[in-house]
Amino acid sequence: MKTIPLAALIGLFFTGLYFLVAIFAPWIAPYGMAEIVGGVWEPSSAEHWLGTDNIGRDLLSRMIYGGRTTIWIATMATILSFVTGSILGFAAAVIGGWVDQVMSRFVDLIMSIPSLIFALVVLSVMPVTVPVLIIVMGFLDSTRVYRLARAVAVDINVMDYVEAAKLRGEGRRWIIFREILPNALSPLVAEMGLRFIFMVLFVSTLSFLGLGVQPPEADWGGIVKENKDGIVYGIGAALYPAVAIATLAISVNLVADWVLNRTTSLKGGRG
Partner 1 sequence: MSDALLKVRDLKIGATVYPPGEKPHDIEIVHGVSFDLEKGKVLGLIGESGAGKSTIGLASMAYGRGGVKITGGEVWVNGRDILKTGLSDIRSLRGGEVTYVSQSAAASFNPAKKIMDQVTEASIRHGKFSKKEAEARAVELFGKLGLPDPENIGSRYPHQVSGGQLQRCMTALALCPEPDLVVFDEPTTALDVTTQIDVLMAIKEAIRDTGVAALYITHDLAVVAQVSDDILVLKMGDMVEYGNVDQIINAPQEEYTKALVSVRSIDHEEKVPTPEPVLKVEHITARYKGTNFDVLHDVNVELHPGQTLAVVGESGSGKSTLARVITGLLPPRSGNIHFAGRDLSAALDGRSREDLRELQMIYQMADVAMNPRQTVGTIIGRPLEFYFGLRGEEKRKRIKELLDEIEMGDGFIDRYPAELSGGQKQRVCIARALAAKPKMIICDEVTSALDPLVADGILKLLLDLQKIEDVAYLFITHDLATVRAIADSIAVMYQGKVVRYGGKTDVLSPPFDDYTDLLLSSVPEMKLGWLEEVIANRKMESAGN
Q: Which residues contribute to the site for partner 1 (CB under 8 A)?
A: 1-3, 159-161, 163-164, 166-170, 178-179, 182-183, 265-270
Residue (87 or 165) nearer to partner 1, CB: 165
Nearest 10 degrees: CA dihedral of 190, 194, 200, 203?
A: -110
Q: Nearest distance from residue 252's CB to partner 1, in Å? A: 25
Residue (243 or 266) nearer to partner 1, CB: 266
Residue (64 or 176) nearer to partner 1, CB: 176
DSSP codes joined into one string, the chain: --SPPHHHHHHHHHHHHHHHHHHTHHHH-SS-SS-B-SSTTPPP-SS-TT-B-TTSBBHHHHHHHHHHHHHHHHHHHHHHHHHHHHHHHHHHHHH-HHHHHHHHHHHHHHHHS-HHHHHHHHHHHS---HHHHHHHHHHHHHHHHHHHHHHHHHHHHTSHHHHHHHHHT--HHHIIIIIIHHHHHHHHHHHHHHHHHHHHHHHHHHHHTTSSSPTTS--HHHHHHHHGGGGGGT-GGGHHHHHHHHHHHHHHHHHHHHHHHHHHHSTT---
Residue (147 or 166) nearer to partner 1, CB: 166
Q: Nearest distance from residue 87's CB to partner 1, in Å? A: 18
Residue (186 or 251) nearer to partner 1, CB: 186
Q: Nearest distance from residue 94's CB to partner 1, in Å? A: 14
Q: Nearest distance from residue 240's CB to partner 1, in Å? A: 41
Rounded Cα–Cα distance for residues 128 and 263 (Å) = 39
Residue (182 or 216) nearer to partner 1, CB: 182
Q: Nearest distance from residue 91's CB to partner 1, in Å? A: 17
Q: Nearest distance from residue 52's CB to partner 1, in Å? A: 52
Q: Nearest distance from residue 42's CB to partner 1, in Å? A: 53
Nearest Cα to Cα of residue 100 among 147, 138, 142, 136: 147
Residue (75 or 263) nearer to partner 1, CB: 263
